[in-house]
Amino acid sequence: MKNIIKLEEAAMLGLCIYVLNSLNVTWWWDLILIFGPDISMIGYFGGNKIGAACYNLFHHKGIAIAVLIAGLLLPNMLLQIIGIVLFGHSSMDRFFGYGLKTEEGFKYTHLGIIGKK
């Protein structure tokens, strides 16, 4: 089952990359997709509770979808692109086993403890 979920996350990431390229956005949006939302880890300087809240804000697929829908309704291409980037990055993280964080610390996620098999 774990491999099926990883395949699903990889497919969602691939779809996001495809949509970004279909929108003819500049190449650096692909870099932002890979690295951008991880800037939220800075929140951990404020402790586990603030760190988890910041991290989860930028890695929650529901928020990514809300940003994308807001971009479609307004219409605002920048919001659409940001929603796609957030969603794609979250899918990439889930593929590698990084889930939404709990207040216990960075390595504790909704998918389990990072690095523990």
Task: Kindly state the helix (H) or strand (E) to which residue 112 belongs, with its residue range.
Answer: strand 112-113
Number of domains in the chain: 1
Domain residues for the domain of 72 are: 2-113
| Local confidence pLDDT in tens for the 117 residues of the chain | 689 999 999 999 999 999 999 999 999 999 999 999 999 999 999 999 999 999 999 999 999 999 999 999 999 999 999 999 999 999 999 999 999 999 999 999 998 898 876
SS3 111: coil
DSSP string, 66-108: HHHHHHHHTT-HHHHHHHHHHHHHHHHHHHTT--PEETTEEEE
Calculate helix-pair angle for 77-95, 61-73, nearest 10 degrees.
Answer: 160
Task: State the pTM of this model.
Answer: 0.94
